[in-house]
Amino acid sequence: MQLFGRKMPLRAQIGLAIVIINLLAAIFVPVIAPYPEAEVVGRAWAGSSAEHWFGLDNLGRDILSRLLYGARLSIGLSLLITTLSFSMGVFGGFAAAVLGKAADMVLSRIVDLLLSMPALIFAMVVLSVLGTDLIVLIVTISVLDATRIFRVARALAMDIEALDYVEVARLRGEGLWWIVRREILPNAVPPLVAEFGLRFCFTFLFISALSFLGLGIQPPNADWGSMVKDYSALIMLGVPAVFYPAGAIAALTIGINMLVDWLLSINTVRR
């Protein structure tokens, strides 16, 4: 199997398959889900059966259906947040690296300020003050995540900026925007892609933590993180429900990382 004109090793193929399955599930949920996500269809904590493959949850909702709807919400939200935070973080980080000492000072100190507060507590404060609106949730997590991406992007850009080919461009008289776009960005992409995969997974867990505290995704909407929290207590009583959403998170995380590893390896400059 080939992608981008390169042969894919088995690991990458598995990773790609996992990602595609999850994306398909997220897109076609209304068609493939056996039951609506919020409908009570039986007794609470009923075990697996032919009608309910993964059993029922604490309110008697179908776990498989909730898992599928959860995929849509968790993946969609994480993707949106990660994309937003990368746009902000990379833009800010590159700006700090190339605009000179003063700009770097201002931007870095703002980021330090945000980083000095524990992310979860910061998010809790913002969400309790402004309300648990989805938009507020997205913007808050994006900004918090952007601070971490800022640091990665800034360090990367500074490393690349010190190389001779960037100096050549400056000596030629090229503008800053051209240098960033044509010389720095293409060489920063591979490590940023890896970071994207990792950040995407962290965003999942962060949303779930907020959901657990009642500040994230609001019931009856399902997301994998809150499902883990909802079902985890029951593991002591022998109810295996928690393994389904936890397994889904783990599988997607591993799948993304396998794919990202390969993307990185084909992008790495051979020396």
Toward another protein, which CB reaches closer, 47 or 100? 100
To another protein, the closest distance from the beta carbon of 164 in angstroms equals: 4
To another protein, the closest distance from the beta carbon of 171 in angstroms equals: 6
To another protein, the closest distance from the beta carbon of 175 in angstroms equals: 10
- C-beta of residue 26 within 8 angstroms of C-beta of residue 6: no
- C-beta of residue 82 within 8 angstroms of C-beta of residue 203: yes
To another protein, the closest distance from the beta carbon of 167 in angstroms equals: 7
Toward another protein, which CB reaches closer, 9 or 220? 9
For 137, phi and psi rounded to 5 degrees?
A: -60, -45
Write out the residues near another protein by the rule CB under 8 A: 163-165, 167-168, 170-174, 182-183, 186-187, 269-271
| DSSP 8-state symbol, 62 | B
Inter-CA distances, 104 with 96, 175, 229, Å: 4, 19, 40
Toward another protein, which CB reaches closer, 113 or 163? 163
Inter-CA distances, 148 with 53, 145, 232, 252, 270, Å: 40, 6, 30, 22, 28
Residue 189 structure tokens:
């992409």
Toward another protein, which CB reaches closer, 43 or 270? 270
